[in-house]
């Protein structure tokens, strides 16, 4: 409730990339990434972050974020209205049947969301005894007045995930928890914005009324000021005083939920197309990918083929929230399922498709689309790109991140690099530290188009992967003058490109025979890629390379050919090699020059 005067208002969309956020906040993406990291969120510059996360980052950088108003005409920010709801709206009205309401619980951290979810689960669990629940699956159902209510139960502490946004996205009704002793706080306002954006009705649970310093009227006043006028003051918002901890007022809250549900026409076609939302997912030992789904339309059955984001699979087994096996799940049912080939992302829409073949081709297409957009989004820089940008007047410096094994080697490296300047290009050291090259270093490099130098240290595996994905160059050295020499050459544009091997194809040796002119040749079948006569070939016996050299002959049906494709047989002779054995593997490769810096 404090306001220290300097805070600037800003409107943000329900989802924003790190780059766009930094532009809107007029700050560098590095600052945004650093702030995210200090809050435990690893994100790269092109990553989408949800409004909640963006709002918290904005707050740390001196802004108060509001969810951008939806521009209905332009269709902008359509994401605010959940896709599944748009799909249900396409069903023919005569097929729609009432279904249990799905409730999302939102609110400021520590206002009691988790406690409330636990208390409701303990008192009113559908089907009776709580002891029957063997697993927490991220959603559950209770029965009140003989009617089912589904609750999305994702961990309350996850302030920095998309969970709260998702709570509003998957829900029919939002219960906004406001602590009576703390009042309306920033995340309360965000939650309201989410619910309003998703056009989801809200009920306020005025929590912690057992506290001596609870100030119910004051909080109602605050709520009224931001547009949630309590019903007892002739407004439209049901405000239910409760104590989640003492289990007071819970029945009233469930009553209120059913009342709102009755006015909200919560419907679906149980016989229609099957789709819903992924609530949670994880890899479980011996069970593979296990996902909690909320069915929102149709009836999901075991044996159905499901696609969710880039994962797909046939539902092998399905369990209700208590862990009991079931074979059918009608609308609004939270279930956990086994059978997906990968872990889908929480918040994603799942859908039943006709066959595994359809699912696979859809996933392949989605992956391809992603790769293409990833490739377009690479932010790392090669030397070539650097010079192109220098010529375009965009960059006047070679940005470096330096990691070394000890402080003692760091200092001379920094001082010698800082002196370097060739024509208009200088060296700018963004960050220098001891230790291995980490994901953070790579992220910083990616955001700032920098190159990473390791001295007696290398990247850890996660950093290597990220660098590959982001197109960040990492160069490692163990002699200082080599390092400075390379940088000097890089600045002069003279650095020799690094050579890299690219495997073009592989073939199995099926038999060995004598060929008059060249000695022994191998009869092979190409099992992967293509073999080329003008490329290099390497003979692998198990893990060992027994020969590496050039092609003497490449034939199909006695005819010389330039190339042989995957699936075809061919005869191969290699210059200076006569020791083929059945079972050898021939690798065909070329050497590619890559600009490294």
Whole-number CA gyration radius for the chain: 31
From the CB of 241, what's the least distance to ligand GDP, in Å? 10
Residue range at the interface with ligand GDP (CB under 6 A); choices 193-201, 202-210, 464-472, 486-494: 202-210
Q: Least distance (Å) from ligand GDP to the CB of residue 361?
A: 42
Residues 437-476 that bind ligand GDP (CB under 6 A): none
Question: Quick one: which segment of 103-111, 388-396, 557-565, 575-583 binds ligand GDP (CB under 6 A)?
Answer: 103-111
Work out whether 187 is an interface residue with ligand GDP (CB under 6 A): no
Contact 520, 513 (CB under 8 A): yes
3-state secondary structure (DSSP) of residue 218: helix
SS3 260: helix
The bridge status of strand 173-179 relative to strand 202-207 is parallel
Stretch of 108-116, 351-359, 524-532, 558-566 lying at the interface with ligand GDP (CB under 6 A) = 108-116
| Site for ligand GDP contains 31 (CB under 6 A) | no
What is the nearest approach in angstroms of ligand GDP to the Cβ of residue 113?
Answer: 3
In terms of CB distance, is 160 or 387 closer to ligand GDP?
Answer: 160
How many chain residues bind ligand GDP (CB under 6 A)? 17
Q: Can you tell me which of 139, 244, 432, 467 binds ligand GDP, judged by CB under 6 A?
A: 244
Closer by beta carbon to ligand GDP, 244 or else 346: 244
- Decide: is 251 part of the binding site for ligand GDP (CB under 6 A): no
From 105-113, 264-272, 275-283, 551-559, span contacting ligand GDP (CB under 6 A): 105-113
| Bridge partners, residue 399, by sequence | 428
CA 443 to chain CA centroid, Å, is: 15
* DSSP state, residue 125: B
Residue selected from 29, 101, 138, 156 as contacting ligand GDP according to rule CB under 6 A: 156
CB atoms within 10 A of CB 130: 12
Q: Is residue 122 a contact residue for ligand GDP (CB under 6 A)?
A: no
Give how far the C-alpha of residue 204 lies from the chain's centroid of Cα atoms, to the nearest Å: 31
Among 35, 115, 188, 449, binds ligand GDP (CB under 6 A): 115
Q: Let me know: does 432 contact 414? Beta carbons within 8 Å.
A: yes
Token pair in block for residue 516: 């008059």
- Single residue of 208, 322, 403, 595 touching ligand GDP by CB under 6 A: 208
Taking the least distance from each CB to ligand GDP, the nearer of 172 and 182 is 182
Provide the edge-to-edge strand list for the sheet that holds 275-284.
311-314, 305-308, 349-353, 275-284, 288-297, 334-340, 317-320, 325-326
The residue among 107 and 454 lying less far from ligand GDP, judged by its C-beta, is 107
Exactly one of 77, 210, 251, 377 binds ligand GDP (CB under 6 A); that residue is: 210
With binding defined as CB under 6 A, does residue 109 bind ligand GDP?
yes
Provide the token pair at 12: 């943000």
Report whether 248 contacts 213 (CB < 8 A): no
Give the nearest distance from C-beta 118 to ligand GDP in angstroms.
8
User: Is the separation of the CB atoms in 264 and 172 below 8 Å?
Assistant: yes
Does the protein bind ligand GDP through residue 252 (CB under 6 A)? no
In this chain, which stretch among 5-13, 102-110, 189-197, 544-552 interacts with ligand GDP, using CB under 6 A? Answer: 102-110
The reply on whether position 123 binds ligand GDP by CB under 6 A is no
Closest approach of ligand GDP to the CB of residue 183, in Å: 14
Helices (DSSP H) in 45-82: which residue ranges? 51-60
**110 touching ligand GDP, by CB under 6 A:** yes
Query: CB-wise, 183 or 309, nearer to ligand GDP?
Result: 183
Q: Is 347 in the site for ligand GDP (CB under 6 A)?
A: no
Residue 154 lies near ligand GDP (rule: CB under 6 A): no
Encoded one letter per residue, x for contact with ligand GDP by CB under 6 A and - for no contact, window 283-302 reads: --------------------
Q: Is 111 in the site for ligand GDP (CB under 6 A)?
A: yes
114, 356, 416, 476: which one binds ligand GDP (CB under 6 A):
114
Alpha-carbon 595 to chain mean position: 30
Contact between residue 95 and residue 269 where contact means Cβ atoms under 8 Å apart: yes
From 106-114, 226-234, 379-387, 455-463, give the range in contact with ligand GDP by CB under 6 A. Answer: 106-114
Give the per-residue SS3 of 376-440.
HHCCCCCHHHHHHHHHCCCCCEEEEEEEECCHHHHHHHHHHHHCCEECCEEEEEEEEEECCECHH
Start-to-end CA distance of the chain, whole Å, equals: 50
Burial of residue 189 (number of CB atoms within 10 Å: 0-12, 13-18, 19+): middle
**Judged by CB under 6 A, which of 112, 170, 298, 505 binds ligand GDP?**
112
Question: Per DSSP, what are the bridge partners of residue 307?
Answer: 312, 351
Q: Binding residue for ligand GDP (CB under 6 A) from 245, 360, 378, 541?
A: 245
- Nearest distance, CB of residue 167 and ligand GDP, angstroms: 12
User: Would you say 142 or 474 has its CB closer to ligand GDP?
Assistant: 142
Q: Collect all residues with Cβ–Cβ distance below 8 Å to 37 and sequence separation of at least 6.
A: 440, 443
- Per DSSP (E only), the strands in 189-244 are 202-207, 238-241
Using the minimum distance from each CB to ligand GDP, give the nearer residue, 183 or 339: 183
Buried b / exposed e over 144-172, threshold 16 CB at 10 Å, is beebebbbbbbebeebbbbbbbbbbbbbb
Interacting residues toward ligand GDP by CB under 6 A: 107, 109-115, 156-157, 207-208, 210-211, 243-245
């Amino acid at each position: 409730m404090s306001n220290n005067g300097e805070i600037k208002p800003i409107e943000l969309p329900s989802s924003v990339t790190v780059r766009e956020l930094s532009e809107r906040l007029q700050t560098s993406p590095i600052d945004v990434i650093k702030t995210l990291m200090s809050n435990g969120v690893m994100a790269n510059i092109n990553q989408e972050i949800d409004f909640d996360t963006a709002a918290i980052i904005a707050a740390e950088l001196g802004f108060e974020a509001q969810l951008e108003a939806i521009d209905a005409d332009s269709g902008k920010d359509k994401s605010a209205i959940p896709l599944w709801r748009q799909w249900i709206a396409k069903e023919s009205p005569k097929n729609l049947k009432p279904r249990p309401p799905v409730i999302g619980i939102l609110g400021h951290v520590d206002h009691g969301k988790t406690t409330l979810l636990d208390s409701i689960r303990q008192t009113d669990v559908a089907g009776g005894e709580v002891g029957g629940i063997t697993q927490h699956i991220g959603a559950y159902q209770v029965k009140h007045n003989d009617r089912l209510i589904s609750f999305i139960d994702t961990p309350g502490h996850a302030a920095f995930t998309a969970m709260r946004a998702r709570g509003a996205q998957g829900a029919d009704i939002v219960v906004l928890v406001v602590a009576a002793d703390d009042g309306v706080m920033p995340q309360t306002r965000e939650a309201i914005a989410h619910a309003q954006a998703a056009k989801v009705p809200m009920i306020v649970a005025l929590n912690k009324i057992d506290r001596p310093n609870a100030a119910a009227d004051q909080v109602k006043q605050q709520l009224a000021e931001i547009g949630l006028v309590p019903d007892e003051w002739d407004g439209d918002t049901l405000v239910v005083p409760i104590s989640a901890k003492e289990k007071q007022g819970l029945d009233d809250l469930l009553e209120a939920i059913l009342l709102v549900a009755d006015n909200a026409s919560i419907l679906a076609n149980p016989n229609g197309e099957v789709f819903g939302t992924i609530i949670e997912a994880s890899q479980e030992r011996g069970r593979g990918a296990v996902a909690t789904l909320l069915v929102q339309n149709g009836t999901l059955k075991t044996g159905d083929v499901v696609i969710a984001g880039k994962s797909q699979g046939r539902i092998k087994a399905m369990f209700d929230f208590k862990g009991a096996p079931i074979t059918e799940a009608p609308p609004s049912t939270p279930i956990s399922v086994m059978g997906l080939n990968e872990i889908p992302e929480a918040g994603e829409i799942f859908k039943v498709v006709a066959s595994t073949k359809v699912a696979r081709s859809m996933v392949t297409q989605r992956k391809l689309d992603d790769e293409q957009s990833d490739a377009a989004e690479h932010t790392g820089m090669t030397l070539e790109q650097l010079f192109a940008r220098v010529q375009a007047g965009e960059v006047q410096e070679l940005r470096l991140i330096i990691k070394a094994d000890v402080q003692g080697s760091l200092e001379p490296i920094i001082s010698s690099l800082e002196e370097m300047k060739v024509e208009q290009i200088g060296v700018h050291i963004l960050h220098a530290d001891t230790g291995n090259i980490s994901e953070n270093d790579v992220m910083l490099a990616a955001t700032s188009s920098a190159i990473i130098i390791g001295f007696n240290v290398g990247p850890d595996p996660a950093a290597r992967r990220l660098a590959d994905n982001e197109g960040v160059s990492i160069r490692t050295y163990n002699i200082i003058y080599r390092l400075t020499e390379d940088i000097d050459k890089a600045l002069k544009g003279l650095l020799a490109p690094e050579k890299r091997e690219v495997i073009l194809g592989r073939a199995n040796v099926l038999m060995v025979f004598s060929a008059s002119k060249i000695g022994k040749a191998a009869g092979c079948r190409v099992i992967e890629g293509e073999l080329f006569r003008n490329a290099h070939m390497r003979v692998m016996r198990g893990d060992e390379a027994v020969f590496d050299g050039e092609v003497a002959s490449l034939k199909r049906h006695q005819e010389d050919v330039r190339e042989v494709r995957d699936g075809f047989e061919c005869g191969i002779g290699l210059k200076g090699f006569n020791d083929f054995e059945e079972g050898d593997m021939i690798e065909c490769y070329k050497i590619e020059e890559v600009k490294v810096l």
